Amino acid sequence: MRIVFMGTPDFAVDCLDILVEKGHEVVGVFSQPDKPQGRKQIMTPPAVKVRALELGLDVYQPVTFKDGEAAEILEKLAPELIVVVAYGKLIPQRVLDIPKYGCVNVHASLLPKLRGAAPIQWSVINGEKETGVTTMQLDAGLDTGDILLVKKTDIEPNETSGELFDRLKVLGAQLLIETIDEMLSGTLSPIKQDDSQSTYASMLSKELSAVDWTKSAQQVHNHIRGLEPWPVASTIIKDKIVKLYGSRLGGYSGAAAGEIVRCDKEFEVCCGDGNTVIITSLQAQGKNKLAASDFLRGFRVEKGTII
């Protein structure tokens, strides 16, 4: 099939790879413009652009769809299908109408749950037991199109959003190919989304990082693993910002919220429900990320301290 691919981050790369691997004719790749990153603000291409160039594909990086130039390029490319995976832009109706088979989107949630920018992270933060990937027929709304196919998977109790991300991008690529195969065979049965069941997964920001120790241990644990690898949960210990990269649930302590109940080989903190969270990996301000036992050898803190 003649396909234009639209995607930006690493999550979309597996989908691009499998389209090429399965012999589809990818006639163009659209990705977000390069952006400055890091302290030195070095202009950095998105992961999809990097991979597309490695595959020898033509890359387009329009700043906007509003001026009609991107639509004109797409009309000349004449795709039969547009595949959209974490592209980061709403696709206007003019573009949706170009391909014979429309536009198919791969979304990392069980729609209509968690529409929006960060469904993987919010599924973990919210304490969901199950998630998955959905392919849908894209419309002009935000993740509101008809559902095509779904793959479900359990979220493990200590799984971080980064680990879940790695699993879902593989599932998404598999589901994309299944969707295209069924599209070509005429066996797809689109299902309209129930808007009354929809929830929204907003973009993440560094303002979300601070841990609220008055919440339950389960909520704190979900918060820590949901914000890994970015923006990473944090707390203040001895006037220093400390990032928390990993955790697991402890037991009942009954101490005060935010009280350190153990700081020898493990770093254990009590939460608002009296139960504890054991922090497994930490990073002090200006230092390297360390396992808790190594962190505690270099960062002196006393049992009973409130953080």
Query: 134-151 pLDDT, tens per residue?
Result: 999 999 889 999 999 999
Residues 6+ apart with CB under 8 A from 13: 7, 47, 48, 51, 169
Radius of gyration of the chain (CA): 22
Residue with tokens 């419309």: 139
Q: Mean per-residue pLDDT for 147-174?
A: 98
Q: Please return the burial class of 239, using the count of CB atoms within 10 Å of its CB with bins 0-12, 13-18 and 19+.
A: exposed
Q: Which CATH number fits domain 206-298: 3.10.25.10, 2.40.160.150, 3.40.190.10, 3.20.20.140?
A: 3.10.25.10
> What is the per-residue pLDDT across 212-239, written as a single tens digit (0 to 9) for each?
999 999 999 999 999 999 999 999 999 9
| Residue 70 pLDDT class (50, 70, 90 cuts) | very high
Which residues is 132 bridged to in the sheet? 152
Fold identical between 2-201 and 206-298?
no
Q: Mean per-residue pLDDT for 260-283?
A: 96
Global pTM reads 0.94
Kindly list the domain boundaries of the chain, sorted by start residue.
Answer: 2-201, 206-298
Residue 38 has pLDDT above 90, yes or no: no
pLDDT exceeding 70 applies to what percent of the chain?
A: 100
Render the burial of 165-176: b for 16+ CB within 10 Å, e for the rest. bebbbebbbebb
User: By mean pLDDT, which of 12-21, 30-39, 213-222 is the weakest?
Assistant: 30-39
Residue 270 has pLDDT above 90, yes or no: yes
How far is residue 3 from each of residues 140, 156, 174, measured CA to CA in Å? 19, 35, 17
Q: List phi, psi (to 5°) of 296.
A: -70, -20
Between strands 130-137 and 233-237, the pairing is unpaired
- Average of per-residue pLDDT values in the chain: 96
- SS3 category, 91: coil
Q: What pLDDT score was predicted for residue 299?
A: 92
Residue 265 has pLDDT above 90, yes or no: no
| Residue 307 pLDDT class (50, 70, 90 cuts) | very high
Q: Mean per-residue pLDDT for 99-116?
A: 98
**What CATH number should be reported for the domain whose range is 2-201?**
3.40.50.170
Q: What pLDDT score was predicted for residue 157?
A: 96
Q: What pLDDT score was predicted for residue 172?
A: 98
